[in-house]
Chains A and B, each alone.
Chain A
Amino acid sequence: MKTITLYVSRFDPAVDAEPHFEEYAVQVNEGARVLHALHAVRDEHDPTLAYRYCCGSGQCGSCAVRVDGKPVLACMEEARDGMTVEPLALPVLKDLTVDLEPVIAKIARICPAPDAALPAREEIEAIKPLRDCIECLCCVSACPALQVTDFAGPTVLRQEMRLALDPRDSGDRITDAIEKGLFYCTTCKRCVEVCPKKIDTPGKAIEKLREIANRRGLTLPRHQEVAQLVQETGRSVERTQPTFLEQVPEVIEPDGPVRGEVGFFVGCMFNGRVPRTALDAMEVMKRNGIRVIVPHEQVCCGSPLIRTGQTSFIDDLKKRNIEAFASRGIKTVMTICAGCGATLKNDYETPFEVKDVTEILTEYGIELPSKLDVRATYHDPCHLLRGQGISEQPRTLLRLGVREFVEMPTQCCGAGGGVRSGVPEEAKALGAKRDECVKATGADVVVTVCPFCEFHIADCTDVPVKNLTTILLEGYRKKDAERKGSA
Chain B
Amino acid sequence: MVLYNAPTNKMHVDEIVDAHVLVVGSGGAGVRAAIEASRYGGVVMVSKTIAGKGGCTTMAEGGYNAVLRDRDSVDVHREDTLSGGAYLNDPALVDALVREAPERMADLVRWGAVFDVTEAREVAQRPFGGQRFPRTCYAGDRTGHEMIMTLLDRLDATDTHLYQEVSVVDLVRDENGAVAGAIALDRDGDVVLFRSDATVLATGGGTQVYDISTNSAAGTGDGFAMAYRAGAELIDMEMIQFHPTGAVYPYDARGRLVTEAVRGEGGILLNARRERFMKRYDPDRMELSTRDVVARAIATEVLEGRGTGHGGVYLDVTHLPAETIETRLPVMLEQYLAYGVDIRREPMEVAPTAHHIMGGVRITPECRTTIPGLFACGEVTGGVHGANRLGGNALADTQVFGKRAGEFAGKAPARGGRIDDAAIDEKLKVLDAFFEGAISPVDVRKDLKLTMWNQAGIFRSAPDLRTALGHVRRLADKRLCAASTANLLECCTVRNMCTTASLIVRCALLRPENRGAHVRLDADVATEPATSPFSHTYVSLTREGIERREAAA
Interface residues of A (CB under 8 A from B): 28-33, 36, 42-43, 47-48, 50, 52-62, 76, 93, 97, 100-101, 104, 109-112, 116, 118-121, 124, 127-128, 131-132, 134-135, 166, 168-169, 197
New A-B pairs, 18, CB < 8 Å, besides A28-B252, A32-B250, A56-B217: A29-B250, A29-B251, A31-B251, A31-B252, A32-B252, A42-B442, A47-B490, A48-B487, A52-B50, A57-B335, A59-B331, A76-B335, A112-B110, A118-B121, A120-B121, A128-B114, A128-B140, A131-B114
Q: Is B486 an interface residue (CB 8 A)?
A: yes
**In the bound complex, do residue A110 and residue B256 qualify as a contact, i.e. CB atoms below 8 Å apart?**
no
The answer, yes or no, to whether B8 is at the interface (CB within 8 Å) is no
| A162 vs chain B, min Cβ distance (A) | 8
* B116 A62 Cβ-Cβ under 8 A: no
For B50, give its contact among A47, A104, A168 (CB under 8 Å).
A104
Q: Are A30 and B251 in contact (CB under 8 A)?
A: yes
B251/A169 in contact, CB under 8 A:
no
- Of the candidate stretches B52-60, B177-185, B316-324, B470-478, the one touching chain A is B52-60
Are the CB atoms of A76 and B338 closer together than 8 Å? yes
Does B72 reach chain A (CB closer than 8 Å)? no
Complex-state Cα separation, A53 to B216, whole angstroms: 9
Decide: B119 and A53 in contact? CB cutoff 8 A.
no
How far, in angstroms, from A134 to B217 measured CA to CA in the complex? 17
Query: Using Cβ atoms and an 8 Å threshold, which residues of chain B touch A58?
Result: 331, 334-335, 338
CB distance from B14 to the nearest CB of A (A): 16
Interface of A is mostly: loop
**4 closest residue pairs by CB, A with B:** A31-B250, A110-B112, A29-B251, A47-B483
CB distance from A161 to the nearest CB of B (A): 13
Kindly provide the distance from the CB of A123 to the nearest chain B CB, expressed in whole angstroms. 9
Contact (Cβ within 8 A) A33 B484: no
A109 and B251 form a contact (CB under 8 A): no
Whether A121 touches B59, Cβ cut-off 8 Å, given contacts A48-B486, A56-B217, A59-B331, is no
Q: What's the Cα separation between A127 and B251 when bound, in Å?
A: 36
Question: What residue in chain A is nearest B149 (Cβ atoms)?
Answer: A131
Residue of A nearest to B164 (CB): A101
Residues from chain B with Cβ under 8 Å of A42 in the complex:
442
Please report whether the interface of chain B is mostly helix, strand, loop or mixed according to DSSP. loop
Chain A hits for B249, CB < 8 A: 31
Q: Which of B114, B119, B218, B331 contacts A54 (CB 8 A)?
A: B218
A47 touching B110 by the CB < 8 A rule? no
Q: How far is the CA of A97 from the CA of B150 in the complex (A)?
A: 26
Cα-based distance from A55 to B218 in the complex (angstroms): 8
Contact B216 A132, beta carbon cutoff 8 Å: no
Q: Which of B149, B152, B252, B487 contacts A29 (CB 8 A)?
A: B252
Q: Is B263 an interface residue (CB 8 A)?
A: no
B318 to chain A, nearest CB (A): 22
Contacts of A62 in B (CB 8 A): 49-50, 53-54
Chain A nearest CB: distance from B155 CB in Å? Answer: 9
| Residue of B with least CB distance to A110 | B112
Shortest B319–chain A CB gap in Å is 25
- CB contacts (< 8 Å) of A168 on chain B: these are 110, 112
Identify which of A31, A104, A132 contacts B142 (C-beta below 8 A).
A132
Tell me if B157 and A109 are in contact (CB < 8 A).
yes
Contacts of A120 in B (CB 8 A): 117, 121
Check B252 against A50 for contact (C-beta < 8 Å): no
CB distance from A120 to the nearest CB of B (A): 5
Contact residue among B49, B52, B118 (Cβ-Cβ distance under 8 Å from A135): B52
- Please determine whether B331 and A36 come into contact, CB atoms closer than 8 angstroms: no
Contact of B59 (CB < 8 Å), options: A59, A97, A118, A132: A59
**A101 and B112 contact, CB distance less than 8 A:** no
CA distance A46 to B348 in the complex (A): 36
Chain B nearest CB: distance from A24 CB in Å? 16
Q: Which residues of A contact B149 (CB under 8 A)?
A: 131
Contacts of A110 in B (CB 8 A): 111-112, 150, 153
Residue pair B59, A53 in contact (C-beta under 8 Å): no
Distance to closest chain B CB from A2 (angstroms): 12
A60 CB contact (under 8 Å) in B109, B117, B216, B442: B216
Inter-subunit contact B250/A124 (CB<8 Å): no
**Which of chain B's residues have a CB closer than 8 A to the CB of A128?**
114, 140
**Contact status A121-B119, CB under 8 Å:** yes
Tell me whether B251 and A166 are in contact (CB under 8 A). no
Contact A61 B53 (CB under 8 A): yes
- CB A39 to nearest CB in B, in angstroms, measures 9
Interface residues of B in 125-145 (CB under 8 A from A): 139-140, 142, 145
Contacts of A28 in B (CB 8 A): 252
* Chain A residues closer than 8 Å to B145, beta-carbon distance: 59, 134
Alpha-carbon gap, A483 to B50, bound state (A):
69
**A56 contacts across to B, CB distance below 8 A:** 216-217, 256
B298 to chain A, nearest CB (A): 20
Tell me if B156 counts as interface (CB < 8 A to partner A).
yes
Q: Is the CB of A57 within 8 A of B117?
A: no
Report how far A13 CA is from B314 CA in the complex, Å. 50
A127 and B164 CA atoms in complex are apart in Å by: 29
A-B contact pairs, 5 of them (CB 8 A): A121-B118, A124-B116, A128-B140, A131-B146, A197-B334
- B residues 198-226 in Cβ contact with A at 8 Å: 216-218
Please, which residues of chain A bring their CB within 8 A of the CB of B54?
Answer: 54, 60, 62
Report chain A residues within 8 Å CB of B330.
132
A33–B440 Cα gap in the complex (Å)?
23
Contact partner of B156 among A33, A50, A109, CB < 8 A?
A: A109
A residues within 8 A CB of B153? Answer: 109-110
Among residues of B, the one whose C-beta sits closest to the C-beta of A28 is B252
What is the 8 Å Cβ interface bit string for chain B, positions 181-201, against chain A (1 contact, 0 not)?
000000100000000000000
Closest Cβ of chain A: how far from B343's Cβ, in Å? 15
How many Å lie between the Cα of A56 and that of B339 in the bound state? 13
A255 to B324, CA, bound (A): 53
Q: Please state if A43 and B59 are interface contacts (CB–CB under 8 Å).
A: no
Residues of B368-388 contacting chain A, CB below 8 A: none
Q: Is the pair B109, A55 in contact by a Cβ cutoff of 8 Å?
A: no
Q: Which residue of chain A has its CB nearest to the CB of B141?
A: A59
Residues of B within 8 A of A61 (CB): 53
Residues of B within 8 A of A55 (CB): 53, 58-59, 216-217
Residues of B within 8 A of A60 (CB): 49, 52-54, 58-59, 216
With contact pairs A54-B218, A60-B59, A109-B156 given, residues A118 and B50 touching in the complex (Cβ less than 8 Å): no
Give which listed residue, B52, B146, B486, contacts A50 with CB less than 8 A. Answer: B486
Task: Indicate if B523 sits at the interface (CB-CB under 8 A).
Answer: no
The one of A32, A50, A57, A97 in contact with B256, judged by C-beta atoms closer than 8 angstroms, is A57
In this complex, what residue of A is CB-closest to B61?
A59
Complex alpha-carbon distance, A54 and B54, angstroms: 6
- CB neighbours (8 Å) of B116 from chain A are 124
Least CB distance from A268 to B in Å reads: 37
Query: Is B253 positioned at the interface, with any CB of A under 8 Å from its CB?
Result: yes
| Residue B66 lies at the interface, judged by CB distance under 8 Å to chain A | no
Which of A48, A93, A111, A112 is in CB contact (< 8 Å) with B483? Answer: A48
- The verdict on B257 contacting chain A, using a C-beta distance below 8 Å, is yes
Measured between alpha carbons, how far is A336 from B518 in the docked complex, in Å? 68
B335 x A54 contact (CB < 8 A) = no
